[in-house]
Chain A
């Protein structure tokens, strides 16, 4: 795809809530033409010391019906080039990118939540599937 970079680099925070200590992802929209719906490739970069690769992959997976993502790593940057599956207006693309970035943060937080709660999750599951309990016939015998 022939892409003429016509420059527009946005530094956008993560919604209104900038996570302290974390850098905002950089978004570069490379487009051919301003006014009409066009197929675009959009470049979104993330700091790899802030976000995990898995979080970005999972977020990209969620939008697989909206775009295909080429993901590469260079230095400390995870680079995503998003190829839209169907044409969108500029406004719609911007919203899509916003949603994608939010989803990356969500996935990142999900990972942290999972790590943090791994131990108690295993505890609950072990308890749930152990022999003694008060469900059904598993009464504690009185001897």
Chain B
């Protein structure tokens, strides 16, 4: 039996012989930095260690050295497999890009009987039929949607209140399935509705074609009804009854519930979460508010800013973590989306946090009038008179013309975070997104100045918050890992 060697034999002799791999660093707090490697994995380090690392002074006896090597921030003579592993992880991350547009939003009508203050749809009152999508336009939109290279196509019906034009929804579902027969894509359908008009006939059709229902619940009754004025002032009751009805006929997993944050929500996050618990929902998406449509017109965007939303969000997330500690499985979906980017190589496909931007690439909107927009928000801007992100018309323009429109390509290129000042150096870039529409709406250019951008400050604060939570508490780290793989 020959002698066994100690671990010292397997280490390199000099510490300065390590080679740095590409990474970015940004401060986490006063003393610490977040480092992210090429595939978006993070590591927290003190400033001192970071400086040592960068100046090739870090000793290979230092425990951080081992972390840095195994997490692909440096290579040395003991291991240089990192570049190959990084390449695989990177490629996995960007896989989704090649699929191109997966989400196709059909605005089947602008009519709606609610008048929500934040609504990104400028509501037209019920009797104006010229705000409905025609079947001719619908067919054009279906053909464009099926042209997408993506294997999975999700058609989401929005409005106004899309059920006011249910006949067209039926038409689109049947026609899309027919035209898909020779294409063989996986088609999925969703109706985003306030549920006030739901009935058995509609649900039967949904059941036959596996159509999902998406609806909004903003919180407890008074909050929800205050956000969503409706003749009869019973939006909440209609929503709750609607959810029960859909579950009864189609099943619990067939209805998803979203929350919209308004100024009125900001002090009531626990109540909102409690409402979701009462309604037997297994998670909530604590969404940031976007500054579009009525929101800007009625100044309800200015009424709150990144700071206040952050307080709202942090309190909500802490509360949800506590619920989980007590054994209640309840997930916060915004965190889960970001955590998927932090802890896996998967892309959650969340349009607002994609770089290159999700406009056009992730989602596209076919408006009732036939105009095609790069995103929901792009359409909003057009309603407000700014047609910057209008890509074409389904009746007049080909697929190629629409998806190579400068109105799409310019903002995509110019806002690509990897190339934008400050973003290109930012350690959080793998988790963040480019939002050219947001920045154009507020700052009149696709990029804005990040130090002044609410989008940037809100996102950075959120990333820092999530990282600090995970680093400090094992339970939270495990919980977050579960959410990231949700």
Asked whether the complex places CB atoms of A and B closer than 8 A, the reply is yes
A contacts, CB < 8 Å to B: 15-17, 19, 58, 61-66, 106-107, 109-110, 112-114, 116-117, 120-121, 123-125, 127-129, 133-136
Q: Which of B21, B25, B90, B422 contacts A128 (CB 8 A)?
A: B90
Cβ of B174 under 8 Å from chain A: no
A61 surroundings in chain B (CB, below 8 A): 421-422, 449, 451
For the complex, give the distance between the alpha carbons of A16 and B451 in Å: 27
Write out, one digit per residue, whether chain B residues 87-103 have a CB within 8 A of any chain A CB (1) or not (0).
11011101100000000
**Are B47 and A124 in touch, CB under 8 angstroms?**
no
A107 surroundings in chain B (CB, below 8 A): 425
Q: Which of B25, B84, B451 contacts A106 (CB 8 A)?
A: B25
A15 surroundings in chain B (CB, below 8 A): 47
Which chain B residue lies CB-closest to A138? B91
Count of CB-CB pairs between chains A and B under 8 Å = 77
A121-B22 contact given A110-B425, A128-B90, A135-B95, CB 8 Å threshold: yes
B411 to chain A, nearest CB (A): 21
**Are B54 and A64 in touch, CB under 8 angstroms?**
no
Chain B contact residue count (CB 8 A cutoff): 29
A19 surroundings in chain B (CB, below 8 A): 51, 55
Q: Which of A62, A110, A124, A135 contacts B86 (CB 8 A)?
A: A124
A58-B425 contact given A113-B20, A124-B38, A135-B88, CB 8 Å threshold: yes
B295 to chain A, nearest CB (A): 23
For the complex, give the distance between the alpha carbons of A136 and B451 in Å: 39
Most chain B beta-carbon contacts within 10 A, residue among A107, A123, A124, A134: A124
**Are A120 and B22 in touch, CB under 8 angstroms?**
yes
B38 surroundings in chain A (CB, below 8 A): 121, 124
A13 to chain B, nearest CB (A): 13
**Are B22 and A134 in touch, CB under 8 angstroms?**
no
Cβ of B473 under 8 Å from chain A: no
B217 to chain A, nearest CB (A): 36
Write out, one digit per residue, whether chain B residues 142-184 have a CB within 8 A of any chain A CB (1) or not (0).
0000000000000000000000000000000000000000000
A109-B22 contact given A17-B48, A61-B451, A127-B87, CB 8 Å threshold: no
For the complex, give the distance between the alpha carbons of A64 and B23 in Å: 25
**Are B95 and A62 in touch, CB under 8 angstroms?**
no
A106 surroundings in chain B (CB, below 8 A): 25
Cβ of B396 under 8 Å from chain A: no
Which chain A residue lies CB-closest to B75? A120
**Are A58 and B421 in touch, CB under 8 angstroms?**
yes
**Are B92 and A135 in touch, CB under 8 angstroms?**
yes
A128-B94 contact given A110-B25, A113-B23, CB 8 Å threshold: yes
Q: Which of A64, A109, A120 contacts B21 (CB 8 A)?
A: A120
Q: A65-B449, A135-B91 are in contact. List 12 more A-B contacts (CB 8 A).
A: A58-B425, A62-B451, A64-B451, A65-B452, A113-B22, A116-B20, A120-B22, A121-B38, A124-B38, A124-B86, A127-B83, A128-B91
**Are B451 and A124 in touch, CB under 8 angstroms?**
no
- Considering the complex, which residues of chain B in the window 77-132 have a beta carbon less than 8 Å from any beta carbon of chain A? 83-84, 86-88, 90-92, 94-95
Q: Which of B51, B90, B92 contacts A17 (CB 8 A)?
A: B51
A128 surroundings in chain B (CB, below 8 A): 86-88, 90-91, 94
